[in-house]
Amino acid sequence: MSEGYLKGRIRRDDIVSAAAAVYGEAGYHASSLREIAKRAGITHAGLLYHFPTKEALLAAVLERRDAEDAVREQLNIPPGLDVLRHFLALAEHNVRHRGIVDLYSRLAAEAISEDHPAHAYFARHYREARDSIAQSFRALAETGELRPGVDPDLAALTFIALMDGLQVQWLTTPTQVDVIGSLRLSLETLLTVPLFPE
Amino acid sequence: MSEGYLKGRIRRDDIVSAAAAVYGEAGYHASSLREIAKRAGITHAGLLYHFPTKEALLAAVLERRDAEDAVREQLNIPPGLDVLRHFLALAEHNVRHRGIVDLYSRLAAEAISEDHPAHAYFARHYREARDSIAQSFRALAETGELRPGVDPDLAALTFIALMDGLQVQWLTTPTQVDVIGSLRLSLETLLTVPLFPE
DNA sequence: CCTACCGATCGGTAGG
DNA sequence: CCTACCGATCGGTAGG
């Protein structure tokens, strides 16, 4: 691998980081290649040398997010309480890294449109998140740790939707929203056992 | 009141309706005055005769939404189960009127920014919604209809955030999201009494 | 309310 | 990677 290739990869990483930051602040559509390029220290035409279109850059941002998530899920936690605790820890991490939440919340709302370049990404993301959580609720149902009569799929949808809704409200009025408290309340009312036994 | 004034009010209403529709499809920033004007049957310069800036038009859209909400809340339901049932009915209404949900979800995400013209509107909207629901949960706590140990304020935050999160996920993948089922599940796990006794 | 226009900004391309 | 440019589109204004 030549130095040129390495430099190119580093530069591409810088651009993707700058893009993620700008998307988080302004959303995808309102972001300009010129602003992203400026933060990466090049011209917007230079940026287009690395990423041929605005959409290709968005794809790269989402791909990196997926790669990071994959690393985190490499842990391969077995379905059950630990998965729920893991998502709670993720929420705690997010509250300390506003940029990630910003990017995600804005893109998710833009991607409602079927013709948005990130629409398929979010449709898949939601389905995978619901499936993952539902699997854990099903495991908990078998051991009697899920409240009787609660549908695991509906519980999974509820948990994911709650996380998303809390994020937007927290970003808008940070001091008035207790993200972790709400998630713990929701999980504890769905379960028959405490999340964190003393 | 002269015919000219009446015609002006009707025209303004048409423009606000067109704006609400376009905001719902594209968000506020991505919407153009030319597209809104075209749907209202005038030129974009003609639109600016009625609303001096793009922001003034957004303000008019939000004001009309508030006015409609005020009419609905004129009912003045006393805090308690009926308020929760009322919000559930509102959610059922929304699922049948996608445009309203679209407008709300997109604007809410854009308005995360403190400098967005609708930021203050949403900050107030969230606070009022939380206060209204919290009041009902407090009333239910006094009569033992709220699950013991559940904080009414946290329950209110949870319910509002869940509604918002469900809407975005439903708009993105409509066939896979049971909005009403999730809300009923959430309320029923928070309460000690059934929402709809048989 | 319209025609006609302005300056600014956008994504993308040519050519090096 | 840059300079220089293109056509398109934007919100807003002048003048009627």
Tell me: the pLDDT tens digits for B87-137? Answer: 999 999 999 999 999 999 999 999 999 999 999 999 999 999 999 999 999
Nucleotides of C under 7 A from a protein CB: 1-4, 9-15
Question: Region A148-176: what's the mean pLDDT?
Answer: 98
Residue A48 CA and nucleotide C16 C1' are separated, in Å, by 16
Which CATH class, in words, describes the domain spanning B1-60?
mainly alpha
Q: Which residue of B has its CA nearest to A146?
A: B189
Question: Region A89-101: what's the mean pLDDT?
Answer: 94
At A143-154, the pLDDT tens digits run 999 999 999 999
Q: What pLDDT score does A4 carry?
A: 61
Question: Region B56-68: what's the mean pLDDT?
Answer: 94
Question: Region B177-189: what's the mean pLDDT?
Answer: 98
CA-CA distances (angstroms) from residue B132 to B55, B79, B160, B182, B191? 29, 8, 10, 20, 17
Q: What percent of chain B shows pLDDT beyond 90? A: 87
Which CATH class, in words, describes the domain spanning A1-58?
mainly alpha
**Cβ distance of B157 and A150 shorter than 8 Å:** no
Q: What are phi and psi of B133, to 5 degrees?
A: -70, -40
Residue A39 CA and nucleotide C5 C1' are separated, in Å, by 35
Closest CA to the C1' of C2: that residue is: B46
Q: How far is A127 from chain B (nearest CA, A)?
A: 8
Rounded Cα gap, residues A168 and A153, in angstroms: 23
User: Which nucleotide is at minimal CA–C1' distance from A55?
Assistant: C11
Q: Which two tokens stand for residue B136?
A: 């009902």
Q: What are phi and psi of A104, to 5 degrees?
A: -65, -50
At B140-166, the pLDDT tens digits run 999 999 999 999 999 999 999 999 999
- For residue A187, pLDDT beyond 70: yes
Rounded Cα gap, residues A43 and A45, in angstroms: 5
- Any chain A CB within 8 A of the CB of B147? yes
Place of tokens 């959409």: A55
**Where, residue-wise, is CATH 1.10.10.60 in chain A?**
1-58
Residue B74 pLDDT class (50, 70, 90 cuts): low
- Any chain A CB within 8 A of the CB of B9? no
Please give the mean pLDDT across all residues of chain A.
94
Please check whether the domain covering B77-198 is classified as CATH 1.10.357.10: yes
Residue A2 pLDDT class (50, 70, 90 cuts): very low
**Cβ distance of A109 and B113 shorter than 8 Å:** no
Residue B1 pLDDT class (50, 70, 90 cuts): very low
**Where, residue-wise, is CATH 1.10.10.60 in chain B?**
1-60
Rounded Cα gap, residues A118 and A103, in angstroms: 12
Q: What pLDDT score does B4 carry?
A: 61
Q: How far is A1 from chain B (nearest CA, A)?
A: 42
- Any chain B CB within 8 A of the CB of A160? yes
**Where, residue-wise, is CATH 1.10.357.10 in chain A?**
77-198
